[in-house]
């Protein structure tokens, strides 16, 4: 939570600079598209990263408590990792589409 709160001032400063340059007419539509693509990828990668860290940490905790359940825990962990990575890949595809297609 502290990390997210620490990101607020730079984001606001960047938005202020973009608004000033937009008023001067220096920012093109291509520039806005690439900024949007970067934001989409950044936010789209944040969720899966948190999910993967949480999932692996909980799986290691479960293995420490019950080592006999390793096959079931490992299977479910790998399945969850695959779903989290798929969300990251969707974010990448969305960012590429924003940057180069639309």
Q: Which domain CATH number covers 86?
A: 1.20.20.10
What is the b/e burial string over 37-66, where b = at least 16 CB atoms within 10 angstroms of the residue's CB? beebbeebeeebeebbeebeeebeebeeee
Asked whether residue 7 is domain-assigned, the answer is: no
Q: Does residue 13 lie within any of the structural domains?
A: no
- Taking alpha carbons only, the member of 10, 17, 42 closest to residue 31 is 17
Residue with tokens 């693509």: 37
pTM beyond 0.75, yes or no: no
Which residue stretches of the chain have pLDDT < 50? Answer: none
For the chain, the domain total comes to: 1
pLDDT of residue 3: 65
* Cα distance between residue 74 and residue 89, in whole Å: 22
| Per-residue pLDDT at 1 | 59
Residue 8 structure tokens: 């607020």
């Amino acid at each position: 939570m502290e990390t997210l709160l620490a990101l607020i001032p730079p984001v606001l400063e960047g938005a202020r600079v973009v608004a000033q340059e937009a008023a001067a007419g220096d920012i093109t539509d291509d520039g806005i598209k690439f900024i949007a693509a970067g934001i989409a990828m950044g936010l789209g990668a944040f969720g899966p990263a948190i999910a993967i860290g949480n999932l692996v940490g909980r799986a290691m905790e479960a293995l420490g408590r019950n080592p006999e359940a390793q096959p079931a825990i490992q299977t479910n962990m790998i399945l969850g990792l695959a779903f989290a990575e798929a969300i990251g890949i969707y974010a990448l595809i969305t960012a590429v589409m924003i940057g180069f297609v639309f």
